[in-house]
Amino acid sequence: MHRPVLLVIAHGSRDPRHAATVHALVRRVRARRPGLRVETGFLDFNVPSVNGVLESLDAEGVRDVVALPLLLTRAFHAKADIPAVLRQAPPRLRVRQAAVLGPSPLLTDALERRLYEAGLTPADKASTGVVLASAGSSDPEAIAVIADIAREWRRTGWRAVRPAFASAALPRTQDAVRELRALGCARVAVAPYVLAPGFLPDRIARGAAEADVLTDVLGPAPEVARVLLERYDQARSPALAAIGA
């Protein structure tokens, strides 16, 4: 059966750790779905560009692509930047834009596993406060989603879960850490809800200076790879129209 090429669209960064993490995630996706062609394109700073990948695919005779934003929330990049880039695709290409990765219970599972990898145990949940630290956005929809994730995650047994943002919205990570400390949490952990290292994740890390635990970014977690393939499969549905159609 014909399967569209999966084009993973990453933001890009001057920080070399960003592209390395994206490529590690894509390798995990390929390993989970042998036979699926997976390409990577960047919006900025890194190569290949999204346009460059689309032109190469067209030149090869590929005609069906699922473009998947490597984003955790549906904010400006997903609503404006990426659709604008995809509209510039060669006209013979049928390009469908998949949904962003979040929210998903699998991503919450990945966040929790990162906490355990950092030294916490399930027995610590009732006494530990967690800061769900996002990059931040000026888009109210994206901010609301982060707050919803924090509320749902709190119901799994953590003492408290507070959202925080590295940019564009408040509170900042350090303020959320202090709030949880004042609440009486025996431990405070910061869980970055970000996919790859870079400028804003580094800001989150600095804001976690007074926390007891700081986890790694989500990166190439197996749960992230599973969500990515779920979004690809959903986008293959005939009910989703091609970009520009």
Q: What is the mean pLDDT of residues 88-93?
A: 98
Q: Collect all residues with Cβ–Cβ distance below 8 Å to 202 and sequence separation of at least 6.
A: none
pTM of the model: 0.94
pLDDT at 242 over 50: no
More confident residue, 188 or 138: 188
pLDDT digits (tens, 9 = 90+) for 141-179: 999 999 999 999 999 999 999 999 999 999 999 999 999
Q: What is the mean pLDDT of residues 200-217?
A: 98
Q: Which band of pLDDT confidence, cut at 50, 70 and 90, is reported for residue 78?
A: confident
Q: What is the mean pLDDT of residues 12-18?
A: 96
Q: What share of the chain is helix, strand, coil (3-state, %, to 5)?
A: 45, 20, 40
